[in-house]
């Protein structure tokens, strides 16, 4: 059974444009086995419909203290909940909650409960950075409220900045961690700088075509999200358009050369480097400046090797730095992975058999074996990629504890 199986969760939805993501949070919580009771504020109803949550939740959605048959609903909901999740949590809700003002049903439930509370802020950058909002969050944290930090990305109105609601998968993962261990994810990476790469590089042939691979970047993004949730200062160098993990700085690149430049500029300051990206081994020597036409015949493409970024990191590492590589294999996984671990001069290698069902590229799941330089191995069976990310970072923490 998963951590959410059989639990009762109140899902509070407040009035921000990010309320549409709460629909997916609700679905994921129910799919994980939780009994989900949606509670929508009046503001939320301007963005999402009650009927949607009636259909997706485990019971009909609540919207008011006054229009329901059951008396004192806030007391009932607060007392029976195992966890209360507020997604999105607007600046208004955070301020009222911090000051104990029971303005509507959701605030009454929050104040009336003794269950753990997880708030997921979402708002425009200027609001998120306002001292009053940050003071309210700091007060709530001191009282034991758990927080899933917002990400950096595109916001309503076309702006880009901090304040974007965390992705539903990250919110559900935080709920699982709270209910599994009685607290938020361990902050065991606090004070560490973690550099993660993700996705497959594209090596241009002409302005239209490229040489690439099947990497989706999902595993690298999961590692970055998990590292940020565990307190690290995270930089993610990625080729993908996947949403930015909450709390991570994102650097977009495309080619192996761009990834090399971005990684090597930042690696010296990183305590941990996780090279989850699938970097091309070769690139065309010449790139056509116009689209090649079929009528011109098959092009003769001459390839040259790209820089081995992982080997360069291993050769130039600074003392105390931990470097993790990946090996996507289709046969003789152990031999190939251990050989790569030793040749590259790194600390850990995460190997998988990408020919196996549900493993590796483009899937939401993975199964890996993590090898270390001392000959140890930790095998993680088929799991979602966030669980794989937890296993990888657990191995990093264990290794660093021995240094």
How many Å apart are CA 96 and CA 100, to the nearest integer? 6
Structure tokens at 289: 């400046």
How many Å apart are CA 280 and CA 270, to the nearest integer? 23
- Considering 213, 336, 352, 366, which one is annotated as catalytic? 213
Could you tell me where the DSSP H helices lie in 230-331?
Answer: 256-267, 309-316
Mention every residue, 6+ apart, whose C-beta is less than 8 A from residue 24.
Answer: 168
Q: How many residues can be counted in the chain? A: 403
Written in H, E and C, the secondary structure of 128-160 is HCCHHHHHHHHHHHHCCCEECCCEEEECHHHCE
Q: Got the DSSP string for 110-122?
A: HHH--S-EEEEE-
Is the N-terminal amide bond of 88 cis, ω within 30° of 0?
yes
Bridge-based pairing state of the strands 193-198 and 272-275: parallel
Mention every residue, 6+ apart, whose C-beta is less than 8 A from residue 290.
Answer: 206, 207
Concerning whether 213 is annotated as a catalytic residue, the answer is yes
Crossing angle of the two packed helices 309-316 and 333-344, in degrees rounded to 10: 50
- Furthest CA-CA distance within the chain: 78
How many Å apart are CA 30 and CA 303, to the nearest integer? 50
Bridge-based pairing state of the strands 272-275 and 322-329: parallel
Residue 245 CB-density burial (10 A; 0-12 exposed, 13-18 middle, 19+ buried):
buried
> How many C-beta atoms lie closer than 10 Å to residue 344's C-beta?
21
How many Å apart are CA 220 and CA 323, to the nearest integer? 14
Just list the catalytic residues. 213
């Amino acid at each position: 059974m998963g951590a959410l199986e059989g639990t009762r969760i109140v899902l509070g939805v407040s009035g921000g444009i990010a309320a549409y993501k709460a629909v997916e949070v609700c679905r994921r919580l129910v799919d994980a086995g939780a009994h989900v009771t949606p509670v929508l504020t009046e503001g939320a109803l301007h963005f999402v419909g009650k009927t949607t949550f009636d259909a997706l939740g485990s019971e009909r959605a609540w919207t008011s203290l006054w229009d329901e048959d059951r008396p004192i609903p806030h007391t009932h909901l607060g007392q029976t909940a195992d966890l209360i999740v507020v997604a999105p949590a607007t600046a208004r809700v955070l301020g009222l909650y911090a000051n104990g003002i029971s303005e509507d049903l959701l605030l009454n439930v929050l104040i009336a409960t003794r269950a753990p509370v997880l708030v997921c802020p979402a708002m425009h950058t200027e609001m998120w950075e306002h001292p009053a909002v940050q003071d309210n969050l700091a007060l709530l944290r001191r009282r034991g409220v758990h927080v899933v930090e917002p990400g950096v990305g595109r916001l309503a109105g076309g702006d880009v900045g901090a304040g974007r609601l965390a992705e539903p998968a990250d919110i559900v993962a935080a709920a699982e961690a709270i209910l599994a261990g009685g607290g938020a994810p361990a902050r065991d990476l606090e004070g560490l700088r973690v550099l993660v790469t993700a996705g497959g590089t594209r090596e241009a042939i002409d302005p239209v075509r490229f040489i690439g691979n099947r990497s989706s970047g999902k595993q690298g993004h999961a590692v970055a999200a998990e590292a940020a949730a565990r307190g690290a200062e995270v930089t993610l160098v990625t080729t993908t358009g996947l949403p930015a993990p909450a709390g991570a700085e994102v650097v977009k690149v495309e080619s192996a050369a761009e990834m090399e430049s971005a990684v090597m500029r930042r690696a010296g300051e990183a305590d941990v480097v996780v090279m989850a990206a699938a970097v091309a081994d070769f690139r065309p020597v010449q790139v056509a400046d116009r689209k090649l036409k079929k009528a011109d015949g098959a092009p003769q493409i001459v390839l040259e090797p790209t820089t081995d970024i992982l080997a360069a990191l291993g050769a130039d590492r600074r003392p105390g730095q931990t470097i993790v590589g990946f090996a996507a294999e289709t046969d003789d996984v152990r031999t190939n992975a251990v050989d790569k671990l030793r040749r590259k001069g790194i600390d850990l290698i995460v190997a998988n058999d990408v020919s196996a069902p549900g493993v590796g590229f483009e899937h939401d799941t993975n199964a890996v074996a993590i090898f270390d330089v001392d000959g140890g191995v930790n095998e993680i069976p088929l799991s979602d990629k966030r669980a794989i990310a937890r296993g990888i970072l657990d191995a990093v923490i264990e290794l660093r504890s021995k240094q």
